[in-house]
């Protein structure tokens, strides 16, 4: 599905680098929001703060000391775009409010997380907006997904050794 017209972002992590192709035609507001955080340097020095091996890795909101970073206002959920939560897909994290995504994102680590996909425009059916896919670095994804985790600062599934996003930049 790689399209040279689509923007891409490189996440340089403490475990290696991953390249993500973004789909502005499928999730324009989400891609614009994510790229603004990238361009602002917001993700630099943040960590993957939630790692569940057979589910996903989540990052983009906490510094290494587990303090949460301030974000811009939430964006509209664009999960009804036909893209699915499959291995390597990047999606926006959010609270139970379907339209609460700000900066945090997750990368799916398993073949399918169908239960996260859009089913209906209801509080239970909105799903999580996929807006891109890993095109390089699946070995890094596998390394991160298998790190040892514990509870830290009241958060579960936190890597014992921080997995830091050193830089996030456009490719």
- Quick: pLDDT tens for 84-113: 999 999 999 999 999 999 999 999 999 999
Is pLDDT of 2 > 90? no
pLDDT at residue 66, as a whole number: 95
So what CATH class is 8-170? mainly beta
**DSSP assignment letter at 114:** G
Percent of the chain with pLDDT over 90: 95
For residue 168, the model assigns a pLDDT of: 98
Per the DSSP assignment, residues forming a β-bridge with 63 are: 46
pLDDT at residue 145 tops 70: yes
Break the chain into its structural domains and give their ranges.
Answer: 8-170
Residue 3: predicted pLDDT:
63
Q: Calculate ∠ Cα 106-108-90, nearest 5°.
A: 50
pLDDT tens-digit map of 157-168: 999 999 999 999
- Predicted local distance difference test score (pLDDT) of residue 153: 85
User: Cα–Cα distance between 133 and 14 in angstroms, integer?
Assistant: 20
State phi, psi for 141 to the nearest 5 degrees: -55, -45
Q: Above 90 in pLDDT, residue 4?
A: no
User: Is residue 1 scored above 70 in pLDDT?
Assistant: no
Average pLDDT value over all residues in the chain: 96
Residue 118 and residue 27 in contact, taking contact as beta carbons nearer than 8 Å: no
- Closest C-alpha to 71, from 27, 25, 33: 33
């Amino acid at each position: 599905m790689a399209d040279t017209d689509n923007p891409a972002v490189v996440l340089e992590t403490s475990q290696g680098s991953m390249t993500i192709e973004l789909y502005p035609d499928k999730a324009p507001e989400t891609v614009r929001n994510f790229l603004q955080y990238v361009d602002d340097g917001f993700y630099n020095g943040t960590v993957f703060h939630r790692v569940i091996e057979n589910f996903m890795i989540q990052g983009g909101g906490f510094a290494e000391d587990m303090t949460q970073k301030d974000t811009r206002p939430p964006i509209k959920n664009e999960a009804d775009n036909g893209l699915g939560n499959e291995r390597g897909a990047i999606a926006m994290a959010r609270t139970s409010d379907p339209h609460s995504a700000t900066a945090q994102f997750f990368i799916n680590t398993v073949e399918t997380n169908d239960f996260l996909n859009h089913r209906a425009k209801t509080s239970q059916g909105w799903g999580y907006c996929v807006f891109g896919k890993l095109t390089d670095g699946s070995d890094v994804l596998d390394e991160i997904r298998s790190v040892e985790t514990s509870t830290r600062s009241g958060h579960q599934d936190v890597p014992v050794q921080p997995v830091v996003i050193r830089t996030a930049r456009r490719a």
